[in-house]
Structure 1
Amino acid sequence: MSSTLRTLMAGNQITSFIFISSVLVQTHSADKDYFAVMPQTVTALTGSCVQIPCTFDISDFEDKLNKAESIYGIWLKTTSRIGDKDSFIAFNSSENIIRGFSDIQMTGNLRERNCTTVFYNIMKNHSGLYYFRLEMEPVFRVTFNPSTDVTKKTVRINVRDSPHPPELKPSDLTVMEETTVNLSCSAEAPCPKQPPTISWSNIPESAHITTQLQEKPDKTQSVVSKLTFKVSYKDHRRNITCTATYPRNTPDASTVETIVMLRVLFPPKETHIIITPSVGTNVTLTCKSSASPSNDLNYIWYKHGEETPIAWGAKINLTQTQTGSYLCIVQNKYGKQSSEEVQLTGQDGPSMHMISACVGGLLTLFAIGVCTSLIRTKHLNKPSENGKDPSGWFNNTDVDYVNIARVMNNERIISDDETLIVFYEETDISKQQNYCPTQTLFKHDEYTEIHYTQLC
């Protein structure tokens, strides 16, 4: 073999090596020339829709687009290989093929590198991994596979029957009085065409509310409502509720809520003294006040005219002989407040004069009642011997009961011009009792008996 031939063969080998190496490098680097950006996870609500925000980029995209006869997107479920037996084409925009869903719409413009897609009427069996595939016929085809790079992760749809509760920030709300509070409540909006509504409850009347739909860094959306108000000490331990209501294609909407308790720090307020009777002639003075925190309050008691404190603590016991004006001062780390003075006169309990007056009044009322009853009853005397002309009578319309000082025998009533006549036998007056008639009938030209069967 001549040297010239050996030189040509060597050159061909070098040329072949360079070409093959170039192909391998291009294949290896092809993965770096395209990528898609989408959230790793989206949470969908059954009976609603879910939007998958999606963008992509390809090297020399404009050049490939000019050469392509068509461009369309495909969504695969479960696996990224379109030819695998487990692969499932849920959507193909080229022929508007939809499988397993009532509707799927690609709202993004592929020519603008936007592959955002909305899946409607989500059901529980729609949970799983979804892969986006781009086909630019006949120039370029690629499925955006998952990789270690976060920007190339595919999306997983998690379907729930109930939404997550809204997020309240800050979750720990402890503030000083008279400061301005800003509360933020956010609720996921997986279906921007049917976003949740946010409402607040148990908020101060002066609160100001603003609500808007916002886009998060991963391009998913949420409804954010902001509450602003100035805190009063009366707002201490107020439970503020944020409620999110999700519309859905079911009979009932889904409602979830989150509650945060407002804790207000303030010095003592509404300080006052309560006087209560104690054992014997003693009285107890109790100092009351509203403050936060309330577990480290200091109480100091003063008597009018004395410069030094007379006692410490929430309560003091005094005798009624310790007359004078008293006040208390309550203090915590945020301030102090003094009560108004109370006067202890030694006559806080009911006096004997008052008791006597009350008893006398009751006896007077009782005597008036007795006299009224006696006026309504006329005294009966013994009748004449013929038994037909009794000396005592009373009108039937005035009779409630008869107070007779004798035991009656053979009594009866004869109606004569509406006059009640009573016949009786006289007995020992020491046996006088009060009897009540159980029956009284008055009919013209008739009579009936009155039976005194029970004591009044």
Structure 2
Amino acid sequence: MMAGIQIISFIFISSVLHTHSADDTYFATMPQTVTALTGSCVQIPCTFNISDFEDKRNKTKSIDGIWLKNKSQFADGFIAFNSSKNIIRGFSNIQMTGDLSERNCTTVFYNIMKNHSDLYYFRLEMEPDVFRATFNPNQPDSRKTVSITVIDSPQPPELKPNDKHSVMENTIVNLSCSAEAPCPKQPPTISWSNIPESAHITTQLQEKHDKTQSVFSHMTFKASYMDHRRNISCTATYPRNTLEDSTVETSVMLRVLFPPKETHIIITPSASVSVGTNVTLTCKSKASPSNDMTYTWYKHGQEMPIAQGKKISFIVTHNNTGSYFCIAQNKHGKQSSAEIQLTVEGERGFFYRVIFGCTGALLAFVLLSAIFFYCMRTNKSSQDHVIERDQATDKNSDMAIYANSSSVSNKKSEKKENDGLHYGEIDFSRLQMGNMTREDSNNGPQTVYAEIQMTGRNNKKTVEQMD
């Protein structure tokens, strides 16, 4: 953690190298130490103040800032940066981002390397000959202004609260992760892992009390008993001018306080054993804290508890079979397990057979009832169909009778019409006795043929007359 220090210098003796009056009071504020990462940059936040600064500023034509390395004496060999002469020694680039006319001397050193670790002093020059001074503390045991420490690997992020922190179930949990940002132009990125699904995260770059900056990430979520002993990790990744970025991580184990959960019973060796077997019932439950857990055992049908403790063991007899359950309790609450059935081998099979038999009988009854109602409905439908068919047959018979009656009437009318008188004519003059007369061998009577023409309603008939 970077610490800040306010550097106040009171100089009452004039010096050849420092141009100021004995009444001048001046001081600079900057961090005592800053940590930089190789291949990255480092920003030194810096502000200063001198007595009658506004008056001096009105008299000056230029204000310049100078950074001296290793020594506070203003000598050419110690100058690392001079804004007036654009001098940069030992660095690829140095930029004064603060406005000196506003008492801001903040400076960024780029592409920091290991050999840049040293003490650095700030000097202010207001020309022409208005004010010149190197800001350094006047403590006899310390001559430092700011110490730059360059490291190859960044410091792990700081995660709060630590693993000793405990929260109650269903309360809001606040976790914060902060990573130093010595180079605000290339700040680290922060990521979280193994976090609850309901977590809400916000991340921003913040300034600390010593004016250095850090990336701050804040996460909130509602604690669940399933979050107990959850390892939540915060990872900071630092970009830099090397082949790979630097990644560091910090984890915290969350401790959630909650009453018993998921309480259940385990039977060893099994729930169905023979008489004389030694069985053990174990009450399992999740709770926090768990060191003060109590377990109480009950048997179905009995109001009073039968035992205390996480486990109970006994020899199975016909009298101690039945349903058992346990109640787990800690200082935050309690929970009862589901009942578990302990039976003797054979009884369970008989019990299942009874259950299956009753179920089968019920299903058979339902099936037979359905078939019976189906048959009744089908029979009724068939009878209705037969009645409808007979009615249709009777109706067709009546229609046939009416049709036959009509046919008979027509025939009778026709017959009656045909039964009328027909008149015929007989022409005896046309009778010939020649070949029309035939005599048998006994000269018997002769047969005379006559042709009779009958006229009646366009009908002609030939009648053979026999004498």
TM-score (norm 1): 0.68
Shift of 1:230: 0.3
Trace 1:325-364 onto structure 2 (pairs within 5 A): 325-347=323-345
Letter in 2 for 1:59: S
2:191 to 172, 192, 199: 199
Give 1 or 2 for the bigger CA radius of gyration: 2
The answer to whether the Cα contact below 8 Å between 1:277 and 1:349 also exists between their aligned partners in 2 is no
In structure 1, the residue matched to 2:97 is 107
Q: Distance in 2 between matches of 1:302 and 1:103?
A: 79
For the structure 1 residues 261 and 125, does the alpha-carbon distance in structure 2 shift closer, same or farther, using more than 3 Å as the test? same
In structure 2, the residue matched to 1:169 is 160
Q: Which 4+ residue blocks in structure 1 deviate beyond 3 angstroms?
A: 23-32, 348-352
In structure 1, the residue matched to 2:461 is none
Structure 1 portions without partners, runs of 5+ = 1-22, 355-456
2:112 to 100, 119, 122: 122
Letter in 1 for 2:149: N
In structure 2, the residue matched to 1:241 is 233
What SS does structure 1 have at the residue aligned with 2:344?
coil
Trace 1:35-114 onto structure 2 (pairs within 5 A): 35-83=27-75, 87-114=77-104
Shift of 1:114: 0.7
For the structure 1 residues 265 and 348, does the alpha-carbon distance in structure 2 shift closer, same or farther, using more than 3 Å as the test? farther
Q: Distance in 2 between matches of 1:29 and 1:242?
A: 53
Letter in 2 for 1:91: F
Moved more, 135-144 or 152-161: 152-161
The answer to whether the Cα contact below 8 Å between 1:283 and 1:320 also exists between their aligned partners in 2 is no
Cα offsets for 1:116-170 (capped at 9, x unmatched)? 00000000110111000111112211100122399x9611101111111101111
Shift of 1:327: 0.8
1:312 to 304, 308, 314: 308
1:140 to 131, 134, 139: 131
In structure 2, the residue matched to 1:429 is none
Moved more, 243-252 or 53-62: 53-62
What SS does structure 2 have at the residue aligned with 1:345?
strand
Q: Distance in 1 between matches of 2:124 and 2:51?
A: 14
For the structure 1 residues 174 and 51, does the alpha-carbon distance in structure 2 shift closer, same or farther, using more than 3 Å as the test? same
Q: Number of matched residues?
A: 329
Q: Distance in 2 between matches of 1:202 and 1:147?
A: 51
Q: Distance in 1 between matches of 2:158 and 2:226?
A: 25
Shift of 1:283: 2.4
Task: Give the percent of matched residue pairs that are identical in Structure 1 and Structure 2.
Answer: 76
In structure 2, the residue matched to 1:4 is none
The answer to whether the Cα contact below 8 Å between 2:12 and 2:23 also exists between their aligned partners in 1 is no
Q: Distance in 1 between matches of 2:14 and 2:239?
A: 50
Shift of 1:173: 2.4
In structure 1, the residue matched to 2:180 is 188
RMSD: 2.7
The answer to whether the Cα contact below 8 Å between 1:188 and 1:223 also exists between their aligned partners in 2 is yes
Shift of 1:340: 1.2
In structure 2, the residue matched to 1:433 is none
In structure 1, the residue matched to 2:26 is 34
Letter in 2 for 1:237: R
Shift of 1:24: 7.2
Q: Distance in 2 between matches of 1:320 and 1:185?
A: 61
TM-score (norm 2): 0.66
Residue 256 (1) aligns with residue 254 (2):
no
Shift of 1:349: 9.9
Structure 2 portions without partners, runs of 5+ = 1-10, 353-467
Shift of 1:312: 1.2
